[in-house]
Amino acid sequence: MLDSILLYLAFATTLIGLLSIFWPLRFVSIRTRKAGDIFAAIGLIVAVVILSLPVRTKQVSTPATELDEWMPVWHFDEEHVVHVDAAPAKVFDAI
């Protein structure tokens, strides 16, 4: 999660730096075009470093489904949660 946040900050820094090359953005304390160049370069370097870092893998401890057997190691996962204000039996009956 931290790497994603840092990557988005690096992209934002690069964008602010590129905009400051044309119009120095004084509200972020970039007063010259050269400072905009430096700001964009720093953002680009940080983005390249973050993108070159290895991705952490996750592994299933005990296979529960065929998917776990076919693909025991993966890189990314996500979880979706919806709160339903009802009894579990009533929800399962509706499903």
Domain boundaries, the chain: 2-74
Count CB neighbours of 39 within 10 A: 24
Supply the pTM of this predicted model. Answer: 0.62
Residue 4's pLDDT band, with cuts at 50, 70 and 90, is confident
Whole-number Å distance between alpha carbons of 70 and 43: 39
Residues 30-84: tens digit of each pLDDT: 889 999 999 999 999 999 999 998 888 888 888 888 988 898 898 877 889 989 8
> What's the confidence (pLDDT) of residue 42?
95
How far, in Å, are 14, 19, 28 from residue 34 at the CA level?
14, 12, 14
